[in-house]
Chains A and B, each alone.
Chain A
Amino acid sequence: MEKMQRDWPLWEVFIRSKAGLEHKHAGSLHAADATMAIEHARDLYTRRMEGVSIWVVKSSDLVASDPGEGASLFEPARDKVYRHPTFYDIPDEVKNL
């Protein structure tokens, strides 16, 4: 028998647990196409009503930041503590601020 060398591609799965919440990464799975990826995600990640909506995206289509560049990528935010409300000293007698 001729051996099939090609694997089903890998998909990343994102699940919205209920309306009003964002889709969140749940894991990954292999499927031949998008329709099958959704069906497999249903069987694999929502067996206990964990979701009301599923996104799937081919893992090869995801672009991720490089952890090695993490320091320089996030550095611009590091010295801008004035973006947080706790940076400002307001006297206690001032209310509702």
Chain B
Amino acid sequence: MYTQGLDQLGRSELHVPTAETAALEQGFLARVDREEKIEPKDWMPAAYRQTLIRQISQHAHSEIVGMLPEGNWITRAPTLKRKAVLIAKVQDEGGHGAYLYSAAETLGVARSDLIDQLLAGTAKYSSIFNYPTVSWADVGAIGWLVDGAAIMNQIPLCRCSYGPYARAMVRICKEESFHQRQGFEIMLTLARGTREQRAMAQAALDRWWWPSLMMFGPSDVDSKHGAQSTRWKIKRVSNDDLRQKFVDVTVPQADFLGLKVPDPDLAWDAAGQHYRFGTIDWTEFNEVLKGNGPCNHERLAARRRAHEEGAWVREAALAYADKQRNRQASAA
């Protein structure tokens, strides 16, 4: 599940071309322009490398933290089938995190350093996972809306200029489709259920609609360094374009469910062939991103606890591997 704010650049990622690398740089940009993929051992500008390390690792963190709100419902899924599906989905999210950490590692960083950044609270992850899942319908809404928004964001990344990231995204996109469809099916079942179940579905849509729109990140006018990422073909479609596309495909799906999108300004613009929607509350977005969302503290605490409680397993596995190796060596 991808995510906003993660393609915003930090200071170390601001690119300043220098005289000594000018020729290399020209060759690099020419390759990017020809749609050639950049591979790990190829020369790349330092800022390109830093941008990718941050974006890919924070994307990976989002997948891992994203396991928490849904994992919360595994023991309470309403049927055995739903439980099996949810376990498979949460396992996929863990897998997506692992593919992405691997892609980040090709740029010369250690996975343990990236995880330390997450646990120390210095790395970002998608703010959507700082919202609570208070009812089973939220599991449906996450699959339908959050994974739907993630797919919109991730499909253009399959064409991004960095080979290992693009390849990881192809694999992830193939798997996300199941996530979105199972979520929509949960919503459909509730929408066709009792009055209480329909109300649950509506309440979940009310909770997740706006945070899902925020997943596409700040408006293009406020997106400071989008141009550089676009030049490098890391970012291929603007935040606002993706957000509009998401609204256009999702509103008819809500209509099909008989649910109401919680936006009084939402209207079909026949001339422009788009749904026009209301203003996003960017104050809320910025607060959640800063760490003041409803579940920021809980999510990081859960990750830290899991990391600490798993330490003995990581150590024991290494000790066992050492022992086996020593035995083989002395037997030989």
A interface list, Cβ under 8 A from B:
1, 4, 6-8, 10, 27-30, 32-33, 36, 43-44, 47-48, 64, 66-68
Given contacts A7-B112, A33-B324, 16 further A-B contacts (CB under 8 A): A4-B311, A7-B111, A27-B99, A32-B317, A32-B320, A32-B321, A33-B317, A33-B321, A36-B321, A44-B98, A44-B99, A47-B92, A47-B95, A48-B175, A64-B41, A67-B41
Docked-complex contact A8 and B317, CB < 8 angstroms: yes
On chain A, the residues within 8 Å of B102 by CB distance are 27-29
On chain B, the residues within 8 Å of A47 by CB distance are 88, 91-92, 95
B interface list, Cβ under 8 A from A:
39, 41-43, 88, 91-92, 95, 98-99, 102, 105, 110-112, 167-168, 171, 175, 311, 314-315, 317-318, 320-321, 324-325
Q: Given A6, A33, A43, which contacts B320 in the complex, CB threshold below 8 Å?
A: A33
A-B CB contacts (within 8 Å), total count: 51
- Chain B: minimal CB distance from A87 (Å): 26
Docked-complex contact B314 and A4, CB < 8 angstroms: yes
Give Cα distance in the complex from A7 to B99, angstroms: 17
- Chain B: minimal CB distance from A64 (Å): 7
On chain A, the residues within 8 Å of B105 by CB distance are 10, 28
Give Cα distance in the complex from A43 to B92, angstroms: 10
Q: Given A1, A32, A66, which contacts B311 in the complex, CB threshold below 8 Å?
A: A1
Give Cα distance in the complex from A10 to B318, angstroms: 13
- Chain B: minimal CB distance from A72 (Å): 16
- Chain A: minimal CB distance from B47 (Å): 20
Docked-complex contact A44 and B95, CB < 8 angstroms: yes
